[in-house]
Amino acid sequence: MAEPESPLLVQRQGPVVRAIFNRPARRNALDEATFAALDALLARLPADPSARILVISGAGGHFCAGLDLTEVGAPADPTEKLAQQQARNRAIGARFQIMSALPQVVIAAVEGSAFAGGLGFVCAADIALASATARFCAPEVRRGLVPGQILPWIVRRLGRSQAARLCLQGHVIGAEEARRIGLVLDLAPDGAALSAMVEATIAGILEGAPGALAETKALIAALGATVPPGYAEAAAEVFARQAAGPEAEEGIASFRQRRRPSWASPA
């Protein structure tokens, strides 16, 4: 088990690996330390046939609030910032693809906020379950950013029409609406019931043969690529350009200052 101060707690219970985002004071926002720990886990899992299920959740009543905007908005030389944002966004897209391609069945157990990149992890999982407290949002356009790398996974889960509404409107939806549109498969009334639902799902999956489960996942993936060729690089370039521009500067500043951005109509 990881040390309590780790930004990602990794626990192993027989064939089940649990990865818990662990920055509760930041609603488990994703920083570079979290990414490094997650990358290490994702690199180990394909070579571990005894691990059959990966459960992703968050500490402190929230799943994940997305990318830590203190890193996105940090001052830097414009050329350097553009390169940093492009590399960061490219790596985010690669993580979703790596996680989706794991031979293990991936379950997202969602309480509280699943925003931006956190929403991407929900949609890249094989099975998404939530408690009644769960809230989902792709708020990038309201921050002057673009949902470049999460967009294909939202489209895969919801279809283009619902994905367009979620990403272009940037609004928060609750757990019941998320279930209605197919973002999550089932809801539990509270955290304890969600844990019980996850355990029941795990028990059902473990009735399947390990090889058959992995091969079935591969066949599902073979039905069509989630991310078209060239998309990830193009999305990284667009994200970097937007993140280094004035709209992101204003959007992130307004978010931090809890005010409306300059382009929004008066409340």
pLDDT tens, per residue, the chain with 267 residues = 444 579 999 999 999 999 999 999 999 999 999 999 999 999 999 999 999 999 999 999 999 999 998 876 666 677 887 888 899 999 999 999 999 999 999 999 999 999 999 999 999 999 999 999 999 999 999 999 999 999 999 999 999 999 999 999 999 999 999 999 999 999 999 999 999 999 999 999 999 999 999 999 999 999 999 999 999 999 999 999 999 899 999 999 999 999 999 999 876
Q: Indicate the pairing of strand 105-110 with strand 113-115.
A: unpaired
Q: What is the pTM assigned to this prediction?
A: 0.94
Reported as type and span, the H/E element at residue 13 is strand 8-13
Q: How many CB atoms lie within 10 A of CB 45?
A: 18
What is the predicted pLDDT for the residue at 188?
98
Please tell me the distance from the alpha carbon of residue 116 to that of residue 136, in angstroms, as a whole number. Answer: 8
What is the predicted pLDDT for the residue at 142?
96
Q: Indicate the pairing of strand 105-110 with strand 127-131.
A: parallel
What is the predicted pLDDT for the residue at 1?
41
Q: Is 155 helix (H, G, I), strand (E, B) or coil?
A: helix
**Comparing C-alpha atoms, which of 29, 43, 153, 32 is closest to residue 10?**
43
What is the predicted pLDDT for the residue at 73?
61
* Matching CATH number, 8-211, of 3.40.50.720, 3.90.226.10, 3.30.70.20, 1.20.1260.10: 3.90.226.10
